[in-house]
Amino acid sequence: MGIYVNPGNQAFKRIDGSNYVDKTGMIQLINERIGRDDSLVCISRPRRFGKSYAAKMLAAYYDCSCDSHELFDKKRIARSKSYSAHLNRYNVIYLEITSFISEAKILRKPLIEVPGMIMEAIHDDLLRICPDLPKLRTVNDELLHCAERPDGKQFIFIIDEWDAVIRETKDGEEAQQVYLDLLRGWFKNGTFTPKAVAAAYMTGILPIKKDGKQSAISEFDEYSMLDPFDFAEYVGFTEKEVMERCAEKGMDYGQIKKWYDGYEFPAVGAVYNPFSVMSALRTGKCRSYWRRTSAAESLKRYINMDFEGLQAMVARLIAGEKIQVSADSFQNDFETFGSADDVLTLLIHLGYLTYQEEEQSVRIPNEEVRIEFEHFLSQKSVNTGWITLIKRSQKLLDDTIACNGTAVAAALEEIRGEHYAPQYYNDEQALRAVIKYAYLAAFGQYVKIEEMPSGKGIADIVFIPVPLSGFPAMVIELKWNRTPGGAIAQIKRKKYTAVLKPFAGNILLVGINYNEKTGRHSCLIEKA
C-alpha cells in the first residue's frame, strides 16, 4: 500500500513547489510539546482546509530518513530556536487512515478489520529500520524495541483523517469501538511510552468521538473549529496572507473576502478557506469551489427532521441572522443527534457555519457557503415545508418588483402567523425580523444591507441586485403604528436613494407599516 515508517519529504516537496503559503510556524507549537505531558495533539478542520498539507509538512520536518534543510531553511520555522534541534531527528509513523479503508473495501473486508490491517502494516514497515524486530505483543512494545537500539530514535505519530473510520462506519458501533481501542492502546496512560514516542499529531474533520460526555481518547489535547486556541492562525489563511496573494495575482481583495472570509477567531481575526482562495487565485474567478461530500449530503435528512424547530433556525441563518447554539452535547459523529444544537454544531465542524465564541452564536460565513445552502434548498428531496416557504417568498419578491403593495401586505400577514416569525410582535424590530423571512428568496439575487447610511440618514433595509441581473434596487422603510406613505416620504426627504446612483431609473421605494390596533400590515411601493 505505501510507506508508513519514515515516508520521506517528497510529498511536502511537491506541495512546496506549488505556491505554498508558509504555515511552518505550526511546527514550533509541536516542538514545544515534545517531551511534555501535552505532546499528543488532535486538530480538526473542515474538508479543504489544509489538514493533509500540514500532516505532510510535519512528516517532512521530523523524518530522520531524509535531509529537509532545503525545504525549511528559508521558512518561518527556521527562525525558531528549536528548528535545528528537531529537524530530521525522529522516526515518523505516517498513517493516512482513508487508504486503509479503501484497501479494505477493495478486498471486501469489513471495516472492523481496519485496526488489524494498520497494526500489520506498521510491523512490516518497522522491519525496514529494525531488521531484527521480533513480532511482539503490541505496537508499543515494538516501537520501544526499535527506540532502544544503539542507533534507535524516538517516534512521532502523524495520523491523517484519523476520524475516517468513525465517519465511514456510521451505525457500526463495534467497528468504531475496535478502532478507538487501538488508539487508546497506543496512547493511553500506562501504555503510551514516552521513551519510544516523542509526540503524536492527529488530524480529521471531527473532534475525538465522545464516550458519554468525555472524549474517548482523553490523553489528546484537542483544537477544533470551536476552540482552536494557539492553532487558530493555522486553521486557514489569515487576512494578511490573503491580501499578499491577491496583490501578487492582481485579484480584487474585496471579492475574495466576500466569497471566502467569515471564519473568525479572537486571537487572529479573519480566517479564509485556503483551498477556495487558491482555486480563485489560480483561475482568476470567484465562485464556489466547495466540494459536496456524502457527509454534507447526509445533513438533508437531519434538517428535514426539524429537530426542535431547526428549519426555522436555518431560515433565520439564510436570512442573515445569527443563532445561539450550545455545542456541549454533540457526540462528534454523524449519527448521534438529539437536538438542533447537535446539527448546528456539526455544521460548524464541517465549515458550513462560523462560530463566535463570545456570543456562542453561529452564522453563514460567506458567499461560497451561502451558495451551498441555496443548493440545499433547491433539492427535490428537501422537506415540503422548505419548498412552500421558498415558493411563497419568491412570489412576494415578484409582487414587490411588480409594485403590488396589497399582495405584499397580505403575504406579510400570512408569514406573521407562522413559527418563523418572532414570538413577540410588538415593535419595529419584530417587523424587521418578519421582513427577513419574507424576502428569503432574495438571498442570492440581492445583497441585503440593514441600516445603510445614505443621504441624510440611515435606510432600514436596502436590497442591491447582483450584477447583470436586471433587477431593481430596493429601499425598504419600516414603520410601526404610522403609514406606508409616511415611510415613502421619509425615503424621499432623507434621500436614502443617494447611495444607489448606479441604479438610477431602476429603484423601488417600499414603505411597510404595521398597525397594532387593527393588527394589519400595509404596503406602498413606488418607482423612484
Quickly list DSSP for 378-400: H-TTS-HHHHHHHHHHHHHHHHH
What is the arithmetic mean of pLDDT over 70-85? 96
Which among 349-358, 397-406, 439-448 has the top mean pLDDT?
Answer: 397-406
Among 171, 172, 141, 167, smallest CA distance to 155 is for 141
Which residue, chain included where needed, has cell 436570512? 319
Give me the sign of the Cα torsion angle 265, 266, 270, 274: negative
What is the arithmetic mean of pLDDT over 218-226? 91
Q: Residue 227 in contact with residue 356, Cβ under 8 Å?
A: no
Q: Is the pLDDT of residue 154 over 60?
A: yes
Contact residues for 335 (Cβ-Cβ < 8 A; gap 6+): 170, 171
Q: Which set of grid coordinates corresponds to residue 103?
A: 484497501
Q: Residue 63 in contact with residue 90, Cβ under 8 Å?
A: yes
pLDDT digits (tens, 9 = 90+) for 236-295: 999 999 999 999 999 999 999 999 998 989 889 999 999 999 999 999 999 888 765 555
- Tell me, what's the pLDDT at 289? 87
Domains along the chain with CATH numbers: 10-223 (3.40.50), 237-283 (no CATH), 294-378 (1.10.10), 384-527 (3.40.1350)
- Tell me, what's the pLDDT at 383? 67
Question: What number of residues does the chain have?
Answer: 528
Q: Is the pLDDT of residue 190 over 60?
A: no
- Pairing between β-strand 197-204 and β-strand 40-44 as defined by DSSP bridges: parallel
Mean pLDDT of the chain: 88
pLDDT digits (tens, 9 = 90+) for 423-440: 677 888 888 888 887 888
Local confidence band at 384 (pLDDT 50, 70, 90 cut-offs):
low
Local confidence band at 56 (pLDDT 50, 70, 90 cut-offs):
very high
What is the arithmetic mean of pLDDT over 144-171? 89
Q: Residue 43 in contact with residue 201, Cβ under 8 Å?
A: yes
pLDDT digits (tens, 9 = 90+) for 348-381: 999 999 999 888 999 999 989 888 887 776 666 6
What is the arithmetic mean of pLDDT over 399-427? 84
- Tell me, what's the pLDDT at 448? 86
What is the rounded distance in angstroms from the CA atom of residue 524 to the CA atom of residue 483? 9
- Tell me, what's the pLDDT at 156? 96
User: The pTM is what?
Assistant: 0.83
Q: Is the pLDDT of residue 443 over 90?
A: no
What is the rounded distance in angstroms from the CA atom of residue 512 to the CA atom of residue 486? 9
- Tell me, what's the pLDDT at 19? 82
Q: Residue 166 in contact with residue 182, Cβ under 8 Å?
A: no
